[in-house]
Amino acid sequence: MSLLEVHDLNVSYGGIKAVRGISLEIAAGELVCLIGANGAGKSTTLKALARLLPASGKILYQGRSIVQMPVYDLVRQGIALVPEGRGIFGRLKVEENLLMGAYSRSDIHGIRRDLDHSYHLFPRLFERKTQQAGTLSGGEQQMLAIARALMSRPRLLLLDEPSMGLAPLMVNKIFDTIRAISADGVTILLVEQNARLALDVSHRAYVMEGGTICLSGEASTLLDDPQVRHAYLGE
Amino acid sequence: MDIFLQQLINGLVLGSVYALIALGYTMVYGILELINFAHGEVVMIGAMVTLAVVNMLMASGVDLPGLMIVAAGLLVAVAVCMALGFVIERIAYRPLRRAPRLAPLITAIGVSIVLQNVAMLIWGRQYISFPPILPSTRHDIAGAGITDLQIFIFVLALVLMAGLVLLVQRTRIGRAMRATAQAPEIAGLMGVNVNAVISFTFILGSALAAIAGVMVSAYYGIAHYYMGFLLGLKAFTAAVLGGIGNIAGAMLGGLLLGVIESMAAGYIGDLTGGFLGSHYQDVFAFFVLIGVLVFRPSGLLGERVAERP
């Protein structure tokens, strides 16, 4: 059974239909990416899945509809979103940001352990744990946003443009992290502008264009697809 | 008698009450960017309810120490004001959450007028006096006097402020409040029920307002349905002085405003050769407000943290 099933999802954004009847599914443990040009509707799709935008259609998570669920309940169901632009709490300390990620949990010892695990994964965050998060560099903020999402122990992690605005070296680091999180068994839906990187780490991919899905398949197959190479990989 | 020390004491006591009220303005502003102009009226309702309970207990002839009677009134007032704060947000402000900012602001003024008139209908237009049942022994320190009541007000206010700081800085709900103030949508993603946090903020601010209302009416010995107006404006001034949205700022602004007012009232007669008297005390709060808005609109402790984009 799929962890997430989306049928005929429609999202309108200020009178414009940004997503027109797309369907997709993700099995437990998969790393799936959603790629496409700017404005194709990738981020809008992700925001609709995280209930930040009203949408029509079916969204089934573990077989149950989440279309009516309030945003704050999603994380208790195991869905975490790393938002576009990171969305860290700039005036909270780094450690407080991580604790906000665990807001939905009450197992104090487990939270402590996961906090240590975050610091082990991202030593930079440990060095800066008492600093205000707004003083971190862009890459550190992205690490914090990912670490914070992991603090909720998600089953499904939604990543929105994690490479945006980062230096190439940092982008590689972030993608290594994504690969590691996937290897840990977390199901991931990745929205990414950088199609080559996204296809490199993903098992499967959906390609969006003009609010619809125009192509889908194994990531390795799409990497070799002449159409994809031409349109998205710039060859 | 040492005027300077005396006015400093009076100012700090009054200022600690302003600070308690200013916290309510600043917490709500921090989360909703709304100036809750009805907050002064919550203070007034707190004072009125306490007096109603106190007078009722006194009339019933129960034999309790004065402090206990006032404490009973205070408990009822805190409960009533918490409920009032919750209801105000729920019916007046929440439906306007996505409206242009002027709409909730005008609504706040409307709520304030409604509360004043309801209070007038219930308790009448006349001043209600606070029965002299609290201990009021005067102590002498270095030529200035301080009463038991002043000590009690100041200490209780400090304890409440310390408790609030601990709540906001050290607890889970406090963290959720700060996160919601910064980015409500992201806080929601973390599992925070933003509406519940906003309700909690109103309830918390209203509880402090109720206590401040009791302090003011006990201090001046009277309460009146219109008392919330000036108190609210002064506490708002204190919040702006400290940097609205900033909790430490509201405390600092409150204490500072109390001292400024008190000092000005103490020395204005001498400075103007008797032309202006201490009844001009209330004017100074607004000189301060104008001064802050002109020279440092972000307030003393206003946002100084630079964030990277």
**Chain A residues with beta carbon closer than 8 angstroms to that of B307:** 90-91, 134-135
Interval A209-217 mean pLDDT: 92
Task: Identify which of A70, A81, A100 has the shortest CB distance to residue B175.
Answer: A100
What is the total count of domains within chain B?
1
Residue B307: per-residue pLDDT = 40
Domain-located, residue B41: yes
Among chain B residues, CA nearest to A79:
B189
Calpha distance B20→A235 (Å, rounded): 66
A·B CB contacts under 8 A = 80
Contact A138 B308 (CB under 8 A): yes
In sequence order, the 6+-apart residues with CB closer than 8 A to the CB of B55 are B128, B131
A20 and A212 Cβ atoms separated by less than 8 Å: yes
**Residues of A at the B interface (Cβ-Cβ below 8 Å)?**
50, 52, 70-76, 80-81, 83, 87-92, 96, 99-101, 103-104, 132, 134-138, 141, 148, 152
Give the model confidence (pLDDT) of A148-191 as tens digits. 999 999 999 999 999 998 999 999 999 999 999 999 999 999 99
Q: Does B305 touch chain A (CB under 8 A)?
A: yes
Give the model confidence (pLDDT) of A90-102 as tens digits. 999 999 999 999 9
Residue B1: per-residue pLDDT = 59
A31 and A186 Cβ atoms separated by less than 8 Å: no
Provide the 3-class DSSP secondary structure of residue B182: helix
Strands A187-192, A31-36: pairing is: parallel
Residue A225: per-residue pLDDT = 87
Q: What is the ipTM of this complex?
A: 0.92
Calpha distance A188→B36 (Å, rounded): 43
What does residue B257 show for φ and ψ, rounded to 5 degrees? Answer: -65, -40
Domain-located, residue B171: yes
Residue span of the structural domain in which B101 resides:
16-241
Calpha distance B3→A211 (Å, rounded): 75
CA of A230 vs chain B CAs: smallest distance (Å) = 33
Global pTM reads: 0.91
Contact B194 A72 (CB under 8 A): yes
**Chain B residues with beta carbon closer than 8 angstroms to that of A90:** 182, 305, 307
Q: Does B191 touch chain A (CB under 8 A)?
A: yes
Residue B301: per-residue pLDDT = 87
**Chain A residues with beta carbon closer than 8 angstroms to that of B178:** 89, 91-92, 96
Report the range of poorest mean pLDDT among A88-102, A111-125, A198-212, B133-147: B133-147
pLDDT confidence band for A139 (50 / 70 / 90)? very high
Interface test with A, best of B189, B197, B247 (most A CBs within 10 A): B189
Contact B189 A92 (CB under 8 A): no
Calpha distance A90→A234 (Å, rounded): 36
Q: Does B185 touch chain A (CB under 8 A)?
A: yes
Domain-located, residue B251: no
Among residues 192-221 of chain B, which lie with CB inside 8 Å of chain A? 192-194
Question: Based on the number of CB atoms within 10 Å of its own CB, is B277 exposed (0-12), middle (13-18) or buried (19 or more)?
Answer: exposed
Query: Amino acid letter at B154?
Result: F
Give the model confidence (pLDDT) of A17-27 as tens digits. 899 999 999 99
B108 and B36 Cβ atoms separated by less than 8 Å: yes
Write down all domains in chain A, each with its CATH number in brackets: 4-232 (3.40.50.300)
CA of A103 vs chain B CAs: smallest distance (Å) = 6
Domain-located, residue B183: yes
Domain-located, residue B8: no
Number of CB atoms found within 10 A of residue A70's CB: 12
Interval A53-64 mean pLDDT: 92
Can you give the pLDDT of all 309 residues of chain B as single tens digits?
578 899 999 999 999 999 999 999 999 999 998 999 999 999 999 999 999 999 999 988 888 888 899 999 999 999 999 999 999 999 999 999 989 989 999 999 999 999 999 999 999 999 999 988 888 888 888 888 899 999 999 999 999 999 999 999 999 999 999 999 999 999 999 999 999 999 999 999 999 999 999 999 999 999 999 999 999 999 999 999 999 999 999 999 999 999 999 999 888 877 777 777 777 788 888 888 899 989 888 888 876 444 433
**DSSP E strands: which ranges in chain A?**
2-13, 16-27, 31-36, 55-61, 64-65, 79-82, 156-160, 187-192, 204-209, 212-218
